[in-house]
Structure 1
Amino acid sequence: MNRKQKKELRQRQSTRQLMGIVRVTPHGVMTDSGERVFFLIQPDNLSVLSPEVIRGRVRSLTMLLSTQPTLEILALDSRESFQRNKEYYLRRLEEETEPAVRELLERDMAHLDAIQFSSASSRKFVLVLPLDEKAGTDESALRQLEKAICDHGLRVRLAEEQDVKRLLAIYYRQDLTTEVFRDFDGEEYMAHG
C-alpha cells in the first residue's frame, strides 16, 4: 500500500478506529488487544498533608502496584490552557494606545491568571487495568478490586461509561466542558420508540 492509499484509508476511518478503540465498554474501552478498565482516583490536596502522611500514601500506592502489577497509572491534565488567550492579550496590549482599553486588557489577563492559578491542581489520575481478551469483564471481580484499592488508602471508584467518554475527551481533545457525551451526533433529537 503506497503513501497516498494509506492516507485515504486513514481519512475514511472513524475516530474510534484511529484511536484503536473497538468500542466503549461500561467501565473502559475495548481495543484489539483486549479491554482496558478505568478506576478514577480522587487525589488528595498534598499541600495540606504532613510529610508523614504523604510518605504513607506513597507507600500505599507502591504496595498496591506491587500486588497488582498489571495496573497502570494515567495522569491527565484536566484544566484548560489559557495560553492562546494570554498571547492574544499581549499582542493587543502592544498595539493598543487607548489607556482605558489597555487597562481592560490587563484586567482580563489578570483574571485569566487567577483562573489558571486556582485550577493548577486540576489533574485526573486513573488506574488502568488491562484485561486479557479471553478474561472478559466480571463485574464482581472489578468491584472487589475497587474495594482492594480503597483498602490501600486511595479514594477510588470504578469508571462508568460517561466517565470513560469524558477521559477520552480530555485526553484527545482537552474538552473539559461537555456534560453528557452521546454515542451519535443528534442522538438526543431522535424519537425513542
Structure 2
Amino acid sequence: MKNNRQKEKQKQSTRELISIDDLTDYSIKTAYGELVYFIIHPTNISVLSESTVSARIYALMTVLKGIAEIEMLCLNSKENFDENKQYLKRRMDAEPNPVIRKLLQMDSTNLDRMQVQMATAREFLIIIRLNKGEVKEQKDKASDVFPYLSRIEKSLKDQGFTARRADNADIKRLLGVYYEQNVTTEKFEDFDGERWVILGE
C-alpha cells in the first residue's frame, strides 16, 4: 500500500505536488482558491522619522480595513549559502595544504560578504483570494474581476504604496524564490527544456 502511494506521488507533476491547478496570466489557481499577488516595493524605514513610520503603519491599516480578502506574505529574495559554507568548512578541516586552506577560507569569506549584501533583499506581497467572501460572486463574471483588482491596486497607490499586480512571469519567479530560494534564474519555463523547442519545424 505504501509503495503504491509512493509510486503515485512520483508520477505527479511539480504543480500537483505543490497543489497548483493552473497558472494564469495574473493568478495561481489552487484547490483553496484563486490567488492574485500584488508586489509592494519595500520602504527603508530606518531612514524615516517616527511620525512618517506611524503614517505608513496607519496607511497599511487603512488598506487592510478596506479589503476583507487580503493576505500578506514576505519573501527573502536572497540565496542561502549555508550548505556551501558548511562544505567549505569541512574541506578546510580536512585539507592538509595551507595554500588550498587559505583559498577555501577566502571563498567562505566571499560567501559571507555576498550574504550580508543581500540580507535586506525582501519582497512584500499582498495576496487576494478571489473565491472568498464577497468576491465569490464577482468571480463568476470574469469581466468583474479586473475592475475589482484595479480598485485594490488603486487603493494601495492612494495610500502611498508603490505596488503593481504580479503577472505570470512574476508569479513563476515568486514560486522559485519561495520553494527553492532561486533568485538567479531570469526566465522560468512552463516545461523543462521548453527553450529548446523550435515551433514550425
TM-score (norm. length: structure 1): 0.90
What amino acid sits opposite 1:85 in the alignment?
A: N
Aligned counterpart, 1:99? 98
Alignment of 1:66-145 (within 5 A): 66-132=65-131, 135-136=138-139, 137=142, 138-145=145-152
Structure 1 residue ranges, 4+ long, deviating more than 6 angstroms after superposition: none
Q: How has the CA–CA distance of structure 1 residues 128 and 5 changed in structure 2, closer, same or farther, with 3 Å as cutoff?
A: same
* 1:54-65 → structure 2 map (5 Å cutoff): 54-65=53-64
Alignment match, 1:156:
163
Pair 1:189–1:98, CA change in 2 (3 A): closer
Residue 37 (structure 1) aligns with: 36
Cα separation, partners in 2 of 1:95 and 1:188, compared to 1, 3 Å: closer
Name the CA shift for 1:98/1:38 in 2 (closer, same or farther; >3 Å): same
Amino acid at match of 2:79: E
Aligned length: 192
Q: Distance in 2 between matches of 1:85 and 1:51?
A: 40
Partners in 2 of 1:4 and 1:134 — Cα distance? Answer: 43
Q: Deviations over 1:98-150 (max 9, x none)?
A: 33323222222221111111110111111110001653352232122111111
Within the alignment, does 1:167 sit opposite 2:170 as a pair? Answer: no
- Give the letter for the 1:144 counterpart: R
For structure 1, the residue ranges without an aligned partner over 5 or more in a row are: none
Match of 2:187 in 1: 180
Residues in 1 aligned to 2:58 and 2:35: alpha-carbon distance in whole angstroms: 25
Amino acid across the alignment from 1:70: E
Q: CA-atom RMSD, angstroms?
A: 1.8
Cα distance in 2 for partners of 1:33, 1:85 equals 36
Q: Which amino acid aligns with 1:57?
A: R
Distance 2:97 2:197 in 1: 52
TM-score (norm 2): 0.87
Structure 1 residue 51, shift from structure 2 partner: 2.4
Percent identity of equivalent pairs: 38
How far apart, in 1, do the equivalents of 2:34 and 2:137 lie?
10
155-164 or 76-85: bigger deviation:
76-85
For 2:105 and 2:154, locate their aligned partners in 1 and report how far apart those are by CA, in whole Å. Answer: 50
Structure 1 residue 45: Cα displacement:
1.7
Structure 2 CA distance for aligned equivalents of residues 100 and 9 of structure 1: 51
Mapped to 2, the partners of 1:16 and 1:96 lie a distance apart of: 43
